[in-house]
Amino acid sequence: MNGNFFIWVKTTKMTSIKTNMQNCNVKKNITYPLSDAYDWEHFLSFQQKRLVEGMEWIRDKTYGRTFNSLNYRGYFEICPTKKGMSLSIQVNNPRFFEQVYQRIIKMFDLNVNLTYVEDFLSRQYPEIGISKGLRIPGVFSEFEAGLRAICGQQITVSAATKLFNQLVHRFGYMDNDGLVYMPLPIDMINSDLTVLKTVNSKKQTILALARWFMENDPESPDYDINNILSIKGVGPWTLNYIKLRANKDPDIWMGADLGIKKAIKKYDNFDHKNSCPWRSYLSIQLWNLI
């Protein structure tokens, strides 16, 4: 990346994110030690079907993406090595480097004792054949997870990815290197989303989601992601998707998902409650069987 990495093309929108922003880049290369398995091929395959052009990229075994908030922006790349996971992170505000680093660890599910989880699920469900190294594929924020979930309601993964790409490219940002950044809620609340090729009800749900995140501060002691159910068009499946992919809640059962419903039909007397407190990982295992 060259020295112009953080010069933005859509300068008219910069007024919305300048607060507390510094332009003093810090870049660090870190190896995160990992003793448990990580099925990286599975992760790359999952991401490949859902990539946002310019915001995410896969080069050989390396996955990379941009990230941003009201206080910082940057990018990272990650790939497996013999010693663990190799991370290269650049942030334009040094005060938030540790926060970003911890967010990435959480995003890639690196701090879970996966061997313990897999052994537990194997004992509870010997008939399934638990695969090794399947971790929860994360996203960078609750807002991103919510947008991806709403875009994906009642359509294929391919159609959902196309719609999400439209949304990011229309309301996000692009720098001089062609890197694309997620829109923030403030970038969307005053739009009618007419440019998006989807039904009006879905557009209204997306707008309501942006307004909800504008009005609810995750740093507030009163913040509760469960209150997102007040939005028309957001139900338990969407809430669980956010908890699974953004918050990495280990005990989310995605039983309302059509794919999981199909997967469990082949097993007699299947009871997802036997996987508590690791129902998220059972959900991932069942998705892998589809």
Instruction: List the domain boundaries for the chain.
Output: 26-111, 142-248
When pLDDT is cut at 50, 70 and 90, the band that residue 190 belongs to is confident
pLDDT tens for 34-67 read 989 999 999 999 999 999 999 999 999 999 999 9
Beta-bridge partners for 57: 64
**CATH code at 142-248:** 1.10.340.30
Amino acid identity of residue 68, one-letter, is N
Token pair, residue 289, equals 């069987």
Identify the CA nearest to 108 among candidates 39, 183, 207.
39
How much of the chain exceeds pLDDT 70, in percent?
92
Q: Write out pLDDT tens, residues 104-148.
A: 999 999 999 999 999 999 999 999 999 999 999 999 999 999 999
pTM for the structure as a whole:
0.88
The 8 Å CB, 24+ separation contacts for 18-24 are: 19/70, 19/71, 20/70, 20/71, 20/93, 21/71, 21/72, 21/92, 21/93, 22/92, 22/93, 22/94, 22/95, 23/92, 24/92, 24/93, 24/94
Q: How many Å apart are CA 211 and CA 208, to the nearest integer?
A: 5
Q: Confidence class of residue 176 from pLDDT cuts 50, 70 and 90?
A: confident
pLDDT at residue number 23: 58
| SS3 of residue 266 by DSSP | coil
Q: What does the pLDDT read at residue 36?
A: 93
More confident residue, 78 or 178: 78
- Can 26-111 and 142-248 be said to share one CATH topology? no
26-111 topology per CATH: TATA-Binding Protein (3.30.310)
